[in-house]
A = this chain, B = another copy of it.
């Protein structure tokens, strides 16, 4: 069976027979060919009441405190173990909203396609977008499709922006963290970055390292139900990794952070890959991971609850907020030494998300 036919089998609605195999500049013209491209997948695969109107924008009813976030995704390669750029584009914005304490509802979706992208590749990305939306329970309500000349892009870049309603019990703000707060990471670190690097560098392990891309909104929502304002701050440590995010938080606060290397959860194979490539896992990008700053009084219970959840089973308490060494992150290493942790200085892993 051809790849086109395999993908067609996953589509619910019959689509017009393709008379093109690759996307051309004309598909970004805004004219007949753009309509044809959209009719050959986009509107079928992503169909819902909002998008079906095909207006310049979507009409939504929103009430109360909302969060609004945006992200552009340029991961290379666009297909990697555990996912593709479509999933990352949905989960990335879903998670940015979730760490604001919001329940994501509506996303926009904007493609910048390089001329020559195979239609079957575009379909695979669209199918990943659909399933990621279903899993996160969000809807793509408005979009845009543009095409650039060969050599002026790289297969496909995707922007998603999103809105969501703030959880009634959420009060997430950097100003809320205080001395004694416990810092909890929801799972193994460095997995996404090492998944991408392993294929880029052709590393060969017993099993493939799969990206941890996933939505975090349901998990965070359950924790907010239970712990509300005792969750002081949430962050997703994507580009720059855990180290960069913690250093940013310390810098914008009046506190310091103590970090315990022994407690950092990491998959053995991911750790080996980091060693092989000379990368510090603290700086490697994550996708399906979040860091919580929680009140010391509920920290143990929070960690227990998180460990019960599918996406938190590898969670660990990795640090504490302290008054000493304000604005500094100090790592206590596995052999007992201490070192200052700074932000990622340059570009360790370009195009990781």
**Residues of A that sit less than 8 Å from B by CB:** 24-35, 54-72, 74, 96-97, 99-100, 102, 106, 108-112, 141-144, 146-149, 151-154, 157, 159, 161, 163, 166, 174, 235-236, 238-240, 244, 248, 252, 283, 285, 342-351
Contact = CB atoms under 8 A, between A and B. Distances in A.
A97 to B, nearest CB: 6
Contact of A69 (B34, B58, B147, B174): B58
Contacts of A74: 112, 146, 148
Given A157-B157, A238-B30, A240-B31, A59 B100 contact: yes
The 5 closest A-B pairs by CB, nearest first: A30-B239, A31-B344, A57-B69, A70-B108, A161-B161
B157 A33 contact: no
30 contacts: A24-B347, A25-B347, A28-B350, A29-B344, A29-B346, A30-B240, A31-B239, A31-B244, A31-B283, A31-B343, A32-B343, A32-B345, A55-B100, A56-B97, A56-B99, A57-B67, A57-B96, A59-B66, A59-B67, A59-B100, A60-B67, A62-B64, A62-B66, A63-B64, A68-B163, A71-B110, A74-B112, A74-B148, A147-B350, A152-B154
A57 B350 contact: no
B345 A149 contact: no
Contact of A56 (B72, B151, B236, B350): B236
A32 B347 CA distance: 9
Contacts of A66: 59-62
A236 B57 CA distance: 12
Contact of A35 (B109, B141, B159, B343): B343
Contacts of A35: 248, 343
A113 to B, nearest CB: 10
Contact of A102 (B57, B63, B97, B100): B57
Nearest to A97: B57
Contacts of A154: 148, 152-153
Contacts of A32: 342-346
A32 B350 CA distance: 14
B163 A31 contact: no
A28 B108 contact: no
A292 to B, nearest CB: 14
A168 to B, nearest CB: 14
Contact of A153 (B60, B153, B239): B153
A59 B142 CA distance: 21
